[in-house]
């Protein structure tokens, strides 16, 4: 007799499969049939855990948000906000390398889903992230560590863009990069933009 896996374990397996589908095939292939096929189970088994594709994507976004925010929070270990930005950059590149499909690549894939509720959820995650980075930048300006004429909001978006574009490119190369080496080069570019 086959023992059923707990709902929590099964839901996590489904999220892992969705990440893989989005990263390798694109969001349009995230269907209940595709997920069931990848899991070697029936569509009914998937529907026991999720009511719809929207529910699946919500869990996926929650999972990405938790990993991303934990990474950002754990990287802020210094009193110096500039050093914290530097730490966050390395931590995010390392997260992308280690977890591969848990990254902004997945979020950007999910953004293609036309469901307004999913799009709103993703936008909230991106705004939450940008606020954290912007807060560090504002602190750097107040402390005189960053030139006063920078726009913290735009600089936060540029920071996110550096990471997003790097991870996107490397996702197509099977994440074959060394985070510390990439970090040093990206940080060099970013700090020059801040006038450091």
Burial class of residue 9 in the structure, from the number of CB atoms within 10 Å of its CB (0-12 exposed, 13-18 middle, 19+ buried): exposed
Q: Is residue 20 part of a domain?
A: no
pLDDT of residue 114: 67
Q: What is the tens place of the pLDDT at every residue in 152-181?
A: 999 999 999 988 888 777 766 666 667 788
Q: Is residue 158 part of a domain?
A: yes
Q: What is the tens place of the pLDDT at every residue in 16-63?
A: 887 777 767 766 777 888 888 888 888 888 888 888 778 877 888 888
The alpha helices in the chain, defined as continuous H runs, are 7-24, 32-39, 43-47, 53-75, 81-99, 104-111, 116-142, 152-171, 179-194
Q: Is residue 35 part of a domain?
A: no
Q: Is residue 18 part of a domain?
A: no
Q: State CA 40 to chain mean position distance.
A: 27
**pLDDT above 60 (res 188):** yes
When pLDDT is cut at 50, 70 and 90, the band that residue 107 belongs to is: low
Q: Is residue 72 part of a domain?
A: yes
Q: Is residue 172 part of a domain?
A: yes
Q: Are 82 and 147 in contact (CB under 8 A)?
A: no
**pTM for the full predicted model:** 0.80
Question: Percentage of the chain with pLDDT > 90?
Answer: 30
Query: Which CATH number goes with the domain that contains 175?
Result: 1.10.357.10
Q: Is residue 100 part of a domain?
A: yes
Domains identified in the chain, total number = 1
d(CA 194, CA 162): 14
Q: Please give the residue that has the higher pLDDT: either 108 or 152.
A: 152
Q: Is residue 23 part of a domain?
A: no
> Which residue range(s) make up the domain with 177?
52-192
């Amino acid at each position: 007799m086959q023992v059923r896996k707990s709902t929590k374990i099964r839901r996590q397996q489904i999220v892992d499969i969705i990440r893989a589908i989005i990263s390798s095939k694109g969001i349009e292939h995230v269907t209940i049939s595709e997920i069931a096929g990848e899991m070697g189970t029936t569509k009914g088994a998937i529907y026991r855990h999720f009511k719809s594709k929207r529910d699946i994507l919500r869990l996926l976004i929650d999972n990405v948000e938790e990993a991303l925010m934990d990474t950002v929070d754990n990287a802020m270990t210094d009193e110096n906000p500039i050093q914290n930005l530097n730490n966050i950059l390395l931590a995010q590149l390392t997260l992308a390398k280690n977890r591969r499909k848990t990254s902004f690549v997945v979020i950007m894939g999910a953004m293609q889903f036309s469901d307004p509720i999913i799009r709103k959820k993703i936008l909230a995650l991106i705004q939450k992230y940008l606020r954290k980075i912007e807060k560090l930048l504002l602190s750097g300006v107040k402390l005189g560590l960053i030139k006063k004429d920078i726009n913290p909001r735009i600089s936060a978006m540029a920071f996110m863009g550096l990471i997003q574009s790097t991870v996107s490119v490397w996702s197509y190369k099977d994440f074959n990069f060394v985070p510390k080496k990439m970090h040093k080069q990206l940080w060099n570019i970013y700090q020059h933009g801040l006038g450091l």
